[in-house]
Structure 1
Amino acid sequence: MPENKTFPSPKVQATDIVSEIPVIDFSQFTKGDASARDEVSKSMVDAFRKYGFVYLINHSIPEYSISQAFRMSKLFFDLPLSSKTQAPHPPGFQIHRGYSHPGLEKVTDLSLGLHPKITKSLARKVPDLKESFEIGADANSEQPNVWLPPNLMPGFRGSMTGFYWTLAEFSKEILRALALGIGLGDENYLQKFYTGEHNQLRLLHYPEVEAKVLEQRKAVRIATHCDWSAFTLLFQDDCGGLEIESPTEPGKFIEVEPIKNACLVNIGDLMARWSNDILRSTPHRVGLPPLQDRYISTKQMRITRARYSIPYFVTTTPDSVIECLPPCVDEKNPAKYEPITQREYNLMRASMNYN
C-alpha cells in the first residue's frame, strides 16, 4: 500500500460546524467521473488512517428516510416498558436482536485493556445508561429478528426493515470507495464478502439523567470502546456527546459535533484487522451532552438532554476468512494477525458485552 500521505480534499459543503474530522462530499464519488471517484476514495482512506472517522455529506440516503427512522425510534422508546419487553433481547450474547433495557448490555472493550486491578466483573458494575433495539435481515436465520406484536406499533417493522436495506445499498458504495482507496485495483473486490444480510441496525436512546451521576462515574452513557464490525454508519440527533480519541494525543478525546443529515462513518476492529491496522479503529465514547437546567421540586438540578442515535454496523458473511489484504502487507509490514472467520471473531467480541 502507498505510504501514508495527505490527499487533496474533495469539495466540502458549507456548514456551521467546524470539525477536526474531515467532511467529504460523497456525491463526487457516486456521480463524479473517474478522477473525482479516485480523489474521494483516497481522501476517505486518508481520513480513516488518521482519525478512523469521516463525515459524508450529499450522500444517497434520502433525508426523509433518516427523519422517519428517528421518528419511529422515538415512538418505540416512548412505549411503556411492558410493551418494549414484548420484543426482548434473547438471553446471553450469541443472538443480538430485540430490545435491551437500560443496564442489560455493558460495553466493556477488554481489547483496549483494563487497569490490572479492574476485572471484567468490576467493569460491569458501572452500568451503561442506555436502551437499544437491534434489527437485522429477516433472512438471517443465525440471528433471527425479535419484533413487537404488530398491534403495539403498526408500521414499525416495515419502516425499519426498509431503512435497513437502504443502508445496506449505501454500504456497497462505501465498500467500492474503500477498495479503490486501499489500492485493491478492483472496486468490487470487497463486495464478494458481503450480502447485506449480516449487518445490524441499532436504535439507541440515552434517557435524561442528572449530570452528577455521570460526573461521579456512578454510570456512563457508553464507555470507551471500539466497534467490532468492518465499519459503522452513524446518524446522530442534535444533542451531542460523542467523543473520539485524539489521533495525536492518546487519552485525550475530541468532540464529534452532529452535522444534520450527514452520515458519520467509522472503521471497526474487523476492518482494522483486515487492513493490518492501516485503517484506524478509533476508541470512542458517549459522554455528557450539553446540559439544560431543570427545576425538580424546589431544587435546581443539571439534567442531561435525552439523546437518540442510529448506528448501522456493516460486516461480512460469517464464513468469510479475514486475513490481511494484499496491499496492506509487505516485507516491512508483515501481517499482524492470524486469519479468522467473521463468525469466530463476532462471537469472541459479543461475549464481552453480555453476561
Structure 2
Amino acid sequence: MFRIALLRPAFAQAGHASKLFNQTKTFASLAEEVRSDSTFHIPVVDFSKFRRARDKAEKKRSADEVVTAFKEVGFVYLKDHGISDEVVQNAFIKSADFFRLPSEAKAKLAWEDPRSNRGYVQQGRERVTQSSDPAEIAALRAKAPDSKESMEIGRDWDATWKNQWPQEKDVPGFKSTMLSFFQTCHELHVSVMSSVALGLGLHEEFFADKIQEQYHNLRLLSYPSIPVSALKEEGTARAGIHSDYGSLTFVFQDDVGGLEVQNPHSGKFHPATPIPGTIVVNVGDLLARWSNDVLRSTRHRVVGPSREKYGSLEMAPARQSIAFFCNPNGTAHISALPTCVSEKAPAKYDPVNTEQYIVRRLSDTYS
C-alpha cells in the first residue's frame, strides 16, 4: 500500500524535514540563506494567513511571504492551504487504482497529441529536459528515459479535446474524483495567484480574467519499483532535470521522497523532503516570463530514494505523486508585468501565447 505524506500524523524523520517544518527564521534573511548550500531550504508558508486575513495589511504580509519564496527559491511548501487530507487521500487511492489496470487497458487510453495533452503515457515515452533539440531529446530518451508512467487530465468541457477516461466498472469513482480534484486545485490556484498579484504590487484580482479558462493539466504519476543501480547510471532519473512550463505547479507527494530542487545560486540539488499537510508549489516558465524573471522557475528532478532513509536497498520503492500544472488561459498573451519592468530592468522576453508555448514544449518532450 502506498503511503501519503500529507496524511501521516507525524513525520517519520526528524532531521532535515523537521528543521524545515519548524523553521522560524525570517523571510528577510532568505536571500542570504539560499546562497549557501549549507543553509539552503524551501520555505514553509502558512497560507491560512492569506485565506483568512482580517484586513488588507495582513493579507499583504502573507502575500509577501509567498512572493519572497518564489523570488529567492522558486519553490515553497504551502501548509494550511484549504485542501483536506481526505480529498488528497481519495485522489491518491483512485490514482493507484488506475495504474493497477492491465497494460492493455491503459494502452487504449494512450496520449496522442500535444495540443490535447490528455491520456495515458507509458513508461519511457516522456523525457523531460531543458533541451529543445529533437535529436538531443531522442538520444536522451533512448539512453535514459524517465522511469515513470502518467495519466494526463484536462478540463472536461473542452469543445475540441476530450479526456480519456477508463470504464467506470474498471476504476469506480475515478472520473468523478479527478474532476472534483481538478476543480479544487483550480480554486487554490486562483487564491495563490491573488497572493502573487499582491506580492508583486498589483491589484489582488489582476490575474482573475487571465486564468479563468482553467487551461490546466492534472497529472497522475506512478514511479514503479526499479533497481537502485539503474538510477545511478549517468543521466538517469525517475524524472530528468527540468523546469515546468506554466504558471504554477502543485505537487502532492507520498512519503517515499525523491523530488530534488536545484539551488539556483550553486547548481547543487537539495531534497524537497515530504512534509505532512503541505503542498510543494513552484513557479513555472510562463510565470517567470510574466514577471520578467523576478520570480524564479527553478529546475528540479526526481531521483532514487535517499540513502539516509532507505539504507542500501537493492530496489527503489515505488513512488506516487500528483502534479497539478496551473496555466494561464490558452488565449493569454504573456508579456512582462508592469510592476516588473523599469528603465534598469527592461523586458527580457518577447510576448508569447500560452497555448502555442505549451504545445511547443510538449512536442519537444514526447516521442
Question: Do both share a fold (TM > 0.5)?
Answer: yes
Tell whether the 8 Å contact from 2:151 to 2:220 is kept in structure 1 after alignment.
Answer: yes
- The answer (yes or no) to whether the contact 1:49–1:278 under 8 Å persists in 2 is yes
Secondary structure at the aligned position of 1:279 is classed as coil
Question: 138, 153, 162: which is aligned to 2:156?
Answer: 138
**What's 1:286 paired with?**
302
What's the secondary structure of 1:21's corresponding residue?
coil
C-alpha root-mean-square deviation of aligned residues, in Å? 2.1
Aligned-partner SS, 1:352: helix
Paired position in structure 1 for 2:6 = none
CA contact (8 A) 2:124 2:141 kept: no
Indicate how the Cα distance of structure 1 residues 228 and 218 shifts in structure 2: closer, same or farther if over 3 A, else same. closer
User: Could you tell me how far apart the structure 2 residues matched to 1:215 and 1:337 are?
Assistant: 37
Within 2, Cα distance between the matches of 1:176 and 1:152? 39
Structure 1 pair 24–293 and aligned structure 2 pair: CA distance change class (3 A): closer
CA distance in structure 2 between the partners assigned to 1:162 and 1:171 by the alignment: 14
**Distance in 2 (alpha carbons) for counterparts of 1:58 and 1:286:** 25
> Structure 1 residue aligned with 2:248, among 221, 228, 231?
231
1:121-176 CA distance string (max 9 Å, x none): 21222111100001111112343211112221121101111111011111110011
Contact 2:283/2:296, CA 8 A, preserved across alignment: yes
* Aligned 8 A contact 2:228 2:316 in 1: yes
Instruction: Tell me if the contact between 2:126 and 2:365 (Cα under 8 Å) persists in the aligned partners.
Output: yes
In structure 1, list runs of 5 or more residues that go unmatched.
Answer: 1-13, 295-299
Residue in 2 that maps onto 1:104: 125
Task: Show the counterpart of 1:121.
Answer: 138
Distance of 2:208 and 2:269 partners within structure 1: 34
* One of 339, 351, 361 as aligned partner of 1:339: 351
What residue ranges of structure 2 are gaps of 5+ in the alignment?
1-9, 21-40
Shift of residue 93, structure 1, vs aligned partner: 2.7
TM-superposed CA distance for 1:293, in Å, is 7.8
TM-score (normalizing by structure 1):
0.88
Kept in 2: contact 1:293–1:302 (CA 8 A):
no
**How far is the alpha carbon of 1:196 from its aligned partner?**
4.7
Compute the TM-score of the two structures, normalised by the length of structure 2: 0.86
Equivalent pairs counted in the alignment come to 330
The 1-side partners of 2:194 and 2:236 are apart by 40
2:87 alignment counterpart: 65
Q: Pick from 173, 186, 193: which aligns with 1:155? A: 173
Distance in 2, Cα, partners of 1:219 & 1:248:
23
1:308, distance to aligned residue in structure 2 (A) = 0.5
More helix by share: 2
Q: How does 1:1-355 map to 2 (within 5 A)?
A: 16=14, 17-19=18-20, 20-33=41-54, 34-90=56-112, 92-110=113-131, 119-125=136-142, 126-184=144-202, 186-217=203-234, 219-250=236-267, 252-290=268-306, 302-355=314-367
Does the CA-based 8 Å contact 1:290-1:304 persist in structure 2?
A: no
